[in-house]
A = this chain, B = another copy of it.
Amino acid sequence: MEVFFHYNWQVRKEWMNWCEQLSQETFLKERIGGVGSFAKTLHHIIDVEWSWIRRLECKPDPETTLSQETTLQDIRQLQQMYQYDVQAFVKRWSPSYENRLFDDGHPPLDTWGVIMRHIIAHEIHHIGQLSIWARELDLKPISANVIGRKLS
């Protein structure tokens, strides 16, 4: 489980560095599919990861939104702000959490294990979308390889 989170954090960081080459206009430009832009995608994966972990911990989960003024620097600050909660939770993950039922009163009910896998897959899915948009801009995307990242 932890390996996948480290993979996602590494790939996410590489994409944030990659976005430095984009103009603010290209960073925010609405694109077809996914959540709609490089900015929104990075914001979304950071926010969704944090939100689910806050919900598992029964903590408040305030929403943040983007504006036309949102910069890569703002996205990095959000990441910086949220990483403490997320990393701490992932670090203390225990096999005994696996089958705990998450019940916030809304269907579907699922286990903590499934929710953690949802967080992992959610990010990889959206990163795949960034790679299409990168090619549309004639730019080389960040590698999605798990192998060769010194994760184990």
Contact = CB atoms under 8 A, between A and B. Distances in A.
**In the assembly, how many copies of this chain are there?**
2
A117 to B, nearest CB: 5
Given A121-B7, A128-B125, A129-B131, A148 B32 contact: no
A141 B114 CA distance: 21
B117 A3 contact: yes
Nearest to A34: B132
A121 B4 contact: yes
Contacts of A17: none
Contacts of A113: 3, 152
Contact of A34 (B131, B148, B152): B131
A33 interface: yes
